């Protein structure tokens, strides 16, 4: 039975925030996503452009995280920048990311580094993408190039949300005219390629002393609302569980959760007019994180440590962001109290950024002016900083308000 009292957070627990290179750096011109933004092939409404200009302003971003009292920062290395042409890694870009890693250490921030966060080089897309003949070899070549700068990095995510990458690939096959069915399973060929890429990267990363590697899964929290247990279990396996299973034996698994997916007799039940929703159109469901942690731990049999690599809410109401996060972290604390091995919580996101086709949803603890790039720390960021410094007291206060 689940306890109703949150446990104390263990020593060394990571409290941080996350970003992704393409979403914040700007002008990622060699990537497949930049290409699709500008040629219209994926039907994206907005361009990333300069994004948050974090390619140049990353020291300011790290200063903000440090000044808030956080002890961790998750960011991604951009494959398209590091390897702008096959077989020709860029020493200058490797040095750039090395400086970011060192910058985290100088500020007392534990770097959590992601090697692939949705974007790939445009040259890989031109060759056929993840299912092309040499895709795995190209990825391992990239990982080998990055290995020398990862010395001293304790957490490395190989691939971010492989289930979403495979799902997006499947949806693109249906086009952008809205004719796709309510449930489209992830592309199995892309899933297999990503699994192989992860396994190859894991073997290479094992050579770095003290480095833990794993990938992250976007937990959809598939729940039975009339579909029946068999169909619900099938959908959960296709969307989440097959990717969780890959993590058995990994050093950790990154858990990422925002909402839930309800299944009915006719398929996916979309949030209706009576449901509270976020700016993404997702159901407002702060319990998503606790559900994902419990489901993932049960699936893995408690054998693999968990790290919350993303959780947050797209909202223009900063009080709502605080309320959502408070309830989500209370759920995390309950999971800890029941013995689930969770090593940290990384909020999505540090900055309001480019949300994969749109600038409208705001997930950030920090607002960014898109013309001047001025960073404005929100009240939710100050609250989150207090949470990092004194989690039990902050959660009690938040739950009482």
Q: Which residues are catalytic?
A: 161
Q: Are 14 and 112 in contact (CB under 8 A)?
A: yes
Q: For the chain, give me the number of helices (H) and strands (E)?
A: 15, 13
Q: Give kind and range of the element (H or E) at residue 156.
A: strand 155-160
Q: How far is CA 137 from the centre of its chain?
A: 24
Q: Please name every residue paired with 368 in a beta bridge, in sequence order, or none if there are none.
A: 375
What CA–CA distances, in Å, run from 88 to 29, 80, 214? 17, 11, 26
218 vs 119: CA distance, rounded Å? 16
Which strands sit side by side in the sheet containing 222-224, from one edge to the other? 222-224, 261-264, 267-269
DSSP-assigned letters across all residues of 228-263: -HHHHHHHHIIIIIHHHHHTTTSS-EEEEES--EEE
């Amino acid at each position: 039975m689940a306890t109703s009292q949150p446990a104390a957070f263990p020593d060394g627990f990571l409290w941080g925030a996350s970003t992704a290179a393409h979403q914040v750096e700007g002008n990622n011109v060699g990537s497949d996503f930049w290409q699709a933004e500008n040629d219209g092939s994926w039907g994206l409404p907005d361009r990333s452009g300069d994004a948050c200009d974090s390619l140049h302003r990353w020291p300011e971003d790290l200063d903000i995280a440090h000044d808030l009292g956080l002890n961790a920062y998750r960011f991604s290395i951009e494959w398209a920048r590091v390897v702008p042409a096959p077989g020709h890694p860029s020493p200058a870009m490797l040095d750039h990311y090395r400086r970011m890693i060192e910058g985290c250490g100088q500020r007392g921030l534990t770097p959590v580094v992601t090697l692939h966060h949705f974007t790939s080089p445009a040259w890989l897309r031109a060759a056929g993408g993840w299912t092309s003949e040499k895709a795995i070899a190209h990825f391992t070549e990239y990982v080998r190039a990055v290995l020398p700068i990862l010395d001293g990095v304790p957490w490395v995510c190989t691939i971010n949300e492989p289930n979403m990458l495979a799902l997006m690939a499947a949806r693109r096959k249906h086009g952008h005219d809205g004719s796709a069915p309510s449930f489209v399973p992830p592309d199995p060929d892309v899933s297999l390629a990503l699994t192989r890429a992860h396994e190859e990267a894991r073997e290479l990363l094992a050579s770095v002393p003290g480095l833990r590697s794993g990938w992250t899964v976007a937990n959809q929290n598939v729940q039975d609302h009339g579909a029946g247990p068999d169909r619900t279990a099938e959908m959960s396996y296709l969307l989440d569980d097959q990717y969780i299973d890959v993590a058995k034996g990994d050093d950790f698994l990154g858990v990422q959760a925002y909402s839930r997916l309800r299944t009915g007799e006719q398929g996916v039940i979309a949030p209706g007019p009576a449901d509270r929703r976020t700016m993404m159109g997702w159901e407002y469901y702060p319990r998503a994180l606790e559900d994902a942690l419990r489901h993932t731990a049960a699936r893995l049999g408690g054998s693999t440590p968990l790290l919350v690599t993303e959780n947050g809410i797209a909202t223009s109401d900063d009080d709502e962001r605080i309320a959502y996060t408070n309830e989500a972290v209370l759920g995390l604390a309950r999971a800890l109290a029941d013995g689930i091995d969770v090593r940290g919580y990384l909020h999505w996101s540090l900055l309001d950024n480019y949300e994969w086709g749109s600038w409208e949803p705001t997930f950030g603890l920090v607002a960014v002016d898109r013309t001047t790039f001025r960073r404005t720390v929100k009240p939710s960021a100050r609250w989150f900083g207090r949470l990092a410094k004194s989690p039990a007291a902050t959660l009690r206060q938040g739950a009482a308000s």
